[in-house]
Amino acid sequence: MNKIAVYLNRQISGNAFDKESILEAYSTDRSVLKFMPKIVAFPEKTEDVEKIIKFIDQLAEKDYKIPTGIWGSGLDATGADLTSGLLISTEKMNQIKEIDTHDRLIHIQSGVTLEQLNSALSTHGLCLPINANPKETIGGLIANCPTDTQAAFFGGIMNYIERIEVVLSDGSCIQTVPLKKASLVKKQSQDNLEGKIYREISKLIEENEDLMQKLFITQDLSGYPSVSRCSQDDGKTFDLLPIFYGSQGTLGLITEIILRVEPIPAVPYHIITSSNSLQSIFEILSVAKTLSPVELLLFDSEIFKSAFELGKEPSLIPKKILSNKYIVQATFIPNHFNKTKVKEFYDSLPKSTRVELNDPEEASSFHELSNPLYIYLNKSSKGEHSPIITDVHIPNVELPSLIESLTVLEKKYNVKLNLFGSFATNIYSIRPNIKIETEEGRLFIVEFLRDFNMLLKIHHGHLAGGSPEGRLKALLTNHDLTPEERKIYTSIKNIFDKNNVLSPDIKLNANPKTTSTHFRTKVNKTIQF
C-alpha cells in the first residue's frame, strides 16, 4: 500500500485503499469514460473528509497536487465522478441522523440514497418527491442538480434543500445558512477561506448585476449559473447554498444535509396515447401541459420494440397505441385540478389510441410500460446505448422541427436516434447505439456530439440544460460560454479552490485531449437508467 493510503488510514475512521481490484471498480461510471484512481477513500463522517482534504491542501501548498474527486453512486453520465488521483466515496456516509415529522425536516449524511431516504420517510407518511434513480445519493443530486421528470410539478431537488455542510478546499467546514446584512458583514470579516468566499462572491455578484439577471433565467447549467441565486430578497439576504447546485464537487464536498420533505402524494393515474403524426402528438402534449400534469413524457416507439422482442409488451395497453411512432404518457394526481378538464382532454383523444390507468391496482401495468425503457438501454446488442446525449434542453416550440432534423443525422451516421424525455420540463435524451470497444465508435462519440450540439444551438437548446456538463459535455459547452461567463466562472473556481485540486479536470477545465484518451474500450456493465 502506498504511503498516502497508509497515512490516510491512520488519520480517518474510514478506510483508504489502493488495491487494483478496488481501483478498477471505481474507474467507470455511467459515462463512456474511464479514469483509474490511485486511491479510493471511504470516509464515515465529516471529520474524515476534513482530514483528507486538509492533507491534500497541504501537499498542494508544497506543489504536489493530487486531483481529488467525489463519488456518490457512480451514476454520472459525463464522467464528473471519476479521477486519476484520489477518489472520495460517500458510500459509508449514509446515516439518517434525525427526522422531524412536525416540521417535516430531515438531517442526513450526503451518502444517503434516494431509495434509503424515502424508505425511512414512508413509515411517517412522508417522501422526497424527486423522480430520480433511487440509487442516487442526495449529495450527488445536489452536486449534479438534475431536472427530474416531475420537477415542473414538485419543483426539483433545489426546492427541498434547507442547508448543507460543505468541506472546502483547505479542509475547513462550513454550513450554508441565509444571512441578513449584519450577519453577512460578520462572515466577511473572518480571516479564513470562508470569509474570503463571502467577501469575494458578494463582490462578484454586485459588480456583475446584468450578468446575474441573465444567469438567473438561463436554461444552461454549465459553469456556475446558480451564483445568481445567492443574493435573495433584493439583496437583503445572502445564502451560499445555490452556488453548490450543479457544482459537481469542484467547489467543495457536501457531507451533511438538512432538507424539507412532503406528505406522500395521492396515487397518481396515467393517460397514455399515441400518434404517427408529429403535429398531432405536439398538439396533444401542448394541451396536456396546460392541465398541470405530474409528468408529461414523450417516447419514440422504437424504444419499446426492443422490449417487445423479449416479451415485455404491456398487457393493458392496446397494440394500436404501441404501434404508432410517438407515445405520450401524462400523469396526474387526483383532486389537484379540475377533473372535468382532464376528462375532456381524455375524451378528445382517438378511442383506438388512448388508455387511462386510474385504478391503483393497475400500477403494475404502468410499471410494464416503464420497463421497456430500461430494457432498451440495457439490451444486449452490437454495442451499447451510451448516455452521451442526456438531459438536453429543447424548447417545446422547437421540438417538432428538431425531431425532423434528426433524420439528417440518422442518415449521416447510419444510426437510430430515438428521442425520449419530458415535455413538462423540456428535457430530453437520445441513446445512439455505439460500438464503444472500437476506434470508430469512440470517434463517432466526438463527431456526433459536435454535430448534435450544432443542431441543438440552431433550435435554441442547451447541451447542459437538464444536468451539468461534467467532462464530456464540457468539450463543447466551454466553447459556448461567453467571455463574460467564462471570466466569472473561472473567478468562482479560483475563489473556492485556489490550488485547483477539487475535480480539476471537469467543467471549465475539461481538457479535450485528456478526455479523448480516456474513452472506455469495453461495454459498460453498469445498468443504465
The DSSP line for 486-510 is HHHHHHHHHHH-TT--BSTTSGGG-
Residue 351 placed within a domain: yes
Closest CA to 227 of 214, 240, 208, 209: 240
Same-domain pairing of 119 and 230: yes
Residue 140 placed within a domain: yes
- The continuous run of DSSP H or E covering 16 comes out as strand 15-17
Same-domain pairing of 56 and 154: no
Residue 444 placed within a domain: no
Tell me what the mean pLDDT of segment 204-227 comes to.
Answer: 96
From CA 222, how far away is CA 471, in angstroms rounded? 11
Cell of 388: 452521451
Where residue 100 sits, what CATH number does that domain have?
3.30.465.10
Query: What is the reported pLDDT for 309?
Result: 67
DSSP label of 527: P
Mean pLDDT of the chain: 91
Q: Which residue, 337, 357, 379, sits at the end of a domain? A: 379
Identity of the amino acid at 508: L
Residue 8 placed within a domain: yes
Residue 400 placed within a domain: no
Identity of the amino acid at 18: D
3-state class (DSSP) for residue 111:
coil
From CA 470, how far away is CA 449, in angstroms rounded? 14
Residue 75 placed within a domain: yes
Kindly report which listed range (196-200, 224-228, 360-364) carries the lowest average pLDDT score. 360-364
- Asked if the model's pLDDT at residue 210 lies above 90, the reply is yes
From CA 419, how far away is CA 432, in angstroms rounded? 10
DSSP label of 528: P
Give the domain range for residue 340.
266-379
Alpha helices in 256-388 (DSSP H): 278-289, 302-309, 319-323, 339-348, 363-378
Cell of 2: 502506498
Q: Which pTM value belongs to this model?
A: 0.94
pLDDT band at 499 (very low <50, low <70, confident <90, very high): very high
In tens, the pLDDT along 408-438 reads 999 999 998 989 999 999 999 998 888 888 8
- Asked if the model's pLDDT at residue 380 lies above 60, the reply is no
Residue 65 placed within a domain: yes
Query: What is the reported pLDDT for 435?
Result: 83
Give how far Cα 169 sits from Cα of 198, 284, 495, Å: 15, 50, 10
Tell me what the mean pLDDT of segment 334-348 comes to.
Answer: 81
pLDDT band at 352 (very low <50, low <70, confident <90, very high): confident
- Asked if the model's pLDDT at residue 336 lies above 80, the reply is no
Same-domain pairing of 195 and 175: yes
Residue 404 placed within a domain: no
Angle between helices 193-207 and 181-188 (to 10 degrees): 120
Same-domain pairing of 123 and 155: yes
pLDDT band at 359 (very low <50, low <70, confident <90, very high): low
Closest CA to 474 of 147, 217, 223: 223
- Contact present, 320 and 353 (Cβ < 8 Å): yes
- Asked if the model's pLDDT at residue 316 lies above 80, the reply is no
- Asked if the model's pLDDT at residue 237 lies above 80, the reply is yes
In tens, the pLDDT along 40-57 reads 999 999 999 999 999 999
pLDDT band at 361 (very low <50, low <70, confident <90, very high): low
Tell me what the mean pLDDT of segment 267-277 comes to.
Answer: 90
- Asked if the model's pLDDT at residue 367 lies above 70, the reply is no
Where residue 498 sits, what CATH number does that domain have?
3.30.43.10
pLDDT band at 2 (very low <50, low <70, confident <90, very high): confident
Q: Which residue, 348, 379, 410, sits at the end of a domain? A: 379
Same-domain pairing of 160 and 135: yes
Tell me what the mean pLDDT of segment 127-133 comes to.
Answer: 94
Query: What is the reported pLDDT for 200?
Result: 98
Q: Which residue, 331, 351, 379, sits at the end of a domain? A: 379
Query: What is the reported pLDDT for 360?
Result: 59
- Asked if the model's pLDDT at residue 525 lies above 90, the reply is no
Cα 445 vs. chain centroid, distance in angstroms? Answer: 20
Same-domain pairing of 133 and 149: yes
- Asked if the model's pLDDT at residue 246 lies above 90, the reply is yes
Cell of 327: 407515445
Closest CA to 428 of 455, 399, 397, 469: 399
- Domain count for the chain, please give it: 3
Same-domain pairing of 368 and 294: yes
pLDDT band at 458 (very low <50, low <70, confident <90, very high): very high
- Asked if the model's pLDDT at residue 303 lies above 90, the reply is no
Identity of the amino acid at 386: S
Same-domain pairing of 365 and 257: no
Where residue 335 sits, what CATH number does that domain have?
3.30.70.2190
Same-domain pairing of 114 and 81: no
Query: What is the reported pLDDT for 234?
Result: 87
From CA 174, how far away is CA 195, in angstroms rounded? 10
Identity of the amino acid at 455: L
- Asked if the model's pLDDT at residue 365 lies above 60, the reply is no
- The continuous run of DSSP H or E covering 1 comes out as none
- Contact present, 395 and 460 (Cβ < 8 Å): yes
DSSP label of 265: P
From CA 253, how far away is CA 109, in angstroms rounded? 12
pLDDT cut 70: percent of the chain above it: 91
- The continuous run of DSSP H or E covering 70 comes out as strand 68-71
Tell me what the mean pLDDT of segment 467-490 comes to.
Answer: 95
pLDDT band at 220 (very low <50, low <70, confident <90, very high): very high
Same-domain pairing of 122 and 244: yes
Query: What is the reported pLDDT for 431?
Result: 87
Same-domain pairing of 52 and 110: no
Same-domain pairing of 131 and 171: yes
pLDDT band at 172 (very low <50, low <70, confident <90, very high): very high
- Contact present, 117 and 109 (Cβ < 8 Å): no
- The continuous run of DSSP H or E covering 392 comes out as strand 389-393
pLDDT band at 180 (very low <50, low <70, confident <90, very high): very high
pLDDT band at 135 (very low <50, low <70, confident <90, very high): very high
